[in-house]
């Protein structure tokens, strides 16, 4: 699995309220990001607590401020599914995405703990 710092949305980002990923990815920066298919992958780094659930959505926009957003893919999880070490999202980024990508975390309830990492990669770890 290829990882590039320019393709990291979140690195152990604490998510206790609804928020966008710490970083956005500009797919045109320095030419093509990576040849071939890309996958958005998210994993839990620290157990979540206090919340009832969380939705993770991959979003795209023509502008870096995401004034107009298109959701490409999403998945919702119950608190019991948000445990350390668990990969919670792995989706292919479809062709024709706009210039910018980010991940949005939508929290249901009141989270008191939890961290997540999300990134783009050229392949999935099937272990």
Residues near 80 by beta carbon (within 8 Å), at least 6 away in sequence: none
In the chain, where the domains are located = 5-121
pTM: 0.89
For residue 63, what pLDDT is reported? 95
Task: Among 2.60.40.10, 3.30.450.20, 2.60.120.1110, 3.30.70.60, name the CATH number for the domain at 5-121.
Answer: 2.60.120.1110
Distance CA 86, CA 97 (A): 27
pLDDT in tens, 56-87: 999 999 999 999 999 999 999 999 999 999 99
For residue 109, what pLDDT is reported? 94
Average pLDDT along the chain: 88
Residue whose tokens read 């502008």: 63
pLDDT in tens, 91-110: 998 877 899 999 999 999 99
What share of the chain in percent tops pLDDT 70?
87
pLDDT in tens, 3-37: 566 789 999 999 999 999 999 999 886 454 555 67
Residues near 115 by beta carbon (within 8 Å), at least 6 away in sequence: 12, 13, 14, 15, 44, 45, 46
What's the half-sphere exposure (Cβ side, CA atoms, 13 Å) at 107? Answer: 21
């Amino acid at each position: 699995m290829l990882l590039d710092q320019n393709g990291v949305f979140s690195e152990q980002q604490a998510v206790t309220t609804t928020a966008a990923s710490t970083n956005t990815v500009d797919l045109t920066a320095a030419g093509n990001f990576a040849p071939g298919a890309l996958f958005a992958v998210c994993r839990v780094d620290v157990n979540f607590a206090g919340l009832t659930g969380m939705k993770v959505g991959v979003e795209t926009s023509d502008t870096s401020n995401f004034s107009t957003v298109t959701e490409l893919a999403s998945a919702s999880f119950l608190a019991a599914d948000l445990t350390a070490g668990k990969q919670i999202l792995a989706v292919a980024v479809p062709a024709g995405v706009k210039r910018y990508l980010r991940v949005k975390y939508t929290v249901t309830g009141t989270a008191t703990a939890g961290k997540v990492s999300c990134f783009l990669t050229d392949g999935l770890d099937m272990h």
